[in-house]
Amino acid sequence: MKKEEIKQITLDTMTKVGKEVELAGRKYLIAPINIGDMNLIESGALIFPIFENKTIDEIAFTANVFDPEKAKILFYIIEKYVRYEDGKIPMTKELVEEHGWSIKDIKKFLEVWLQISD
């Protein structure tokens, strides 16, 4: 293979993978779940939007924020899979609070995150 034929994969390319979604009035890029994190779904570590084909009410999602163990996992997921400003800036717990995400926004994020791989 000639050097010209090798396509370079840049950080810019990698950060653009995912789906754009609007949460709390801002646009974010959500990357698909990494196979290494699939155990978070199986373990029941978080309350997810769809469980046995039934929609879960937003009130149940408060546990994802207020339960210390669930919150730790939720913010790990957000920091790993969500970026904003065209995929340039990774989200943090502090940015989630600053941007004013509601429980509905968290539910929407989880719905989108779980469906990207479909």
What pLDDT score does 75 carry? 95
pLDDT values of the chain reduced to their tens digit, one per residue, 118 residues: 455 554 454 555 455 578 899 999 999 999 888 888 888 877 778 888 765 556 677 788 888 899 999 999 999 999 999 998 877 888 999 999 999 999 999 999 998 888 875 5
What pLDDT score does 47 carry? 83
* SS3 (DSSP) at 12: helix
* Alpha-carbon distances of 23 from 5, 6, 101, 104, 112, rounded to whole Å: 39, 37, 7, 9, 11
- pTM attached to this predicted model: 0.78
Where helices occur in the chain by DSSP H, the ranges are 11-15, 39-42, 62-66, 68-81, 93-99, 103-115
What pLDDT score does 48 carry? 80
From edge to edge, which strands make up the β-sheet containing 26-30?
Answer: 19-23, 26-30, 82-84, 89-90
What pLDDT score does 15 carry? 54
What pLDDT score does 9 carry? 47
